[in-house]
Amino acid sequence: MIGMDKKRKIESCLAGTVFFIVLILIDQFTKYLAVTFLKDNGPFIIIDGVFQLRYLENRGAAFGMMQGKQYLFVAVAAVIVLLIAYFYQKMPMTKKYIPLRICAVLLCSGAIGNMIDRLKLNYVVDFFYFDLIDFPIFNVADCYVVVACIAFVFLILFYYKEDDDFAWISIN
């Protein structure tokens, strides 16, 4: 019989894996839709002067920085995913750490979603554009990463305030 802690860890890892796969599928499906309906067409206006869908092939990182460094981005994403996976399985399997596990899955899904594009296409498909503030064009995977990072900061500042909340972190 599997111990309760081991069973909880297996269930958490399975749930995280399913969530991870679903998020990647959503990201890839939205990029497929962008290629199918937006590529070689003008922007699709959602709210005039505010928000539109506009196809872009991004060969750089966030905000188009470091153009053409696809393999560097893939390597960095792979290292990040491996580190997050390592810490995910080391996290205590209590309800208190569910938000942190969700952040980990969101971050990994975003990294892998864009990594798939980089490996398959040599660029990332972006399509969300906030015209009102002239914000750089982005995609669903980028949303995952940003939401995860913002949530992580709030969790660290306001939820995991105790000294022992991260005592489980060690490289041993």
Q: Taking all residues of the chain, what is their mean pLDDT, rounded to a whole number?
A: 88
Residue 169 lies in a domain: no
pLDDT band at 144 (very low <50, low <70, confident <90, very high): very high
Catalytic entry in 126, 134, 164, 165: 126
Residue 46 lies in a domain: no
Q: Is 61 exposed, middle or buried (0-12, 13-18, 19+ CB in 10 A)?
A: middle
Q: Has residue 30 been placed in a domain? A: yes
pLDDT category of residue 165 using cuts at 50, 70 and 90: low
Query: Exposed, middle or buried by CB within 10 Å (0-12, 13-18, 19+), for 29?
Result: exposed
* Catalytic-role residue among 27, 40, 134, 142: 142
Tell me: pLDDT of 172 over 60.
Answer: no
27 is catalytic: no
Query: Is residue 163 over pLDDT 90?
Result: no
Q: Is 117 a catalytic residue?
A: no
Domain assignment of residue 60, given as a range: 4-41+51-161
The count of structural domains within the chain is 1
